[in-house]
Amino acid sequence: MEDQLLAEQAESIFLDLLDSTIIDVASEAHRAARLGFDPRLSIDEEGEYNLAMQARVSVGDFGANISKKSQHGMVDMFGQTHPAVASEIFECMSCNRKIMAGRFAPHLERCMGKGRRARSTTVDNKKADKGDIKMFQESFENITDKRLKLEVPSMANAHENVLTTKVEMKNRDRSVESVHKM
């Protein structure tokens, strides 16, 4: 492309980009003007209610209808509250004990480390055969509803991701065995 045409085209493209930027700035400013720079200008009913309730608590208004949870603001959009620890009880597929869902992860850390051992080193972990992981995964998938079915992400990147906790398989032979028992 000849120099002059090149320059013309470049100039034209630049102006186009600049105009686009200018419009964006104007839009932002316009929006800010209309909303008064306040991102929460439109009144958020529930949010306001929660804030009002919290204010009441801090003032010491005992007459107000406050529940402990909404006080902390832990109400979800349906108005439901959730306990801090999930309380549903089910059976661990490895040791067959009744476990509270909220305590499942730490339980597994110990349980899968075989017996009472709390943790194992990651060195042994790495030695674990990928094949075993697969069987483990398949067994997980076969779990029926009474048991907690966990989302097992792809096993492609090592077993560190299993159950999203630091679950280590110390002695893989043992754990494979227990997996087979399922």
Partner 1 sequence: MRASVNRPPTPDGDEEKAAEPTLQEIINIKLIESGEKEKLKELLRERLIECGWKDEMKGYCRALTRKRGRADVTLDELIRTITPKGRSSVPDSVKAELLQRIRSFLLSAAL
> Which residue ranges make up the site for partner 1 (CB under 8 A)?
1, 6-7, 9-15, 17-30, 33-34, 36
Nearest residue (CB) to partner 1, 40 versus 97 = 40
CB of 39 to partner 1, least distance (A): 16
Nearest residue (CB) to partner 1, 26 versus 64 = 26
CB of 38 to partner 1, least distance (A): 12
CB of 45 to partner 1, least distance (A): 23
Q: How far does CA 46 lie from the centroid of its chain? A: 24
CB of 27 to partner 1, least distance (A): 6
How buried is 110 (Cβ within 10 angstroms: 0-12 exposed, 13-18 middle, 19+ buried)? middle
Nearest residue (CB) to partner 1, 11 versus 48 = 11
Dmax (CA) of the chain: 82
Give Cα separations from 174 to 134, 178, 179 (angstroms): 15, 6, 9
113: its two tokens? 């480390």
Nearest residue (CB) to partner 1, 1 versus 156 = 1
> 89-91 and 98-100 as β-strands: parallel, antiparallel, unpaired?
antiparallel
Give Cα separations from 84 to 57, 101, 137 (angstroms): 21, 11, 29
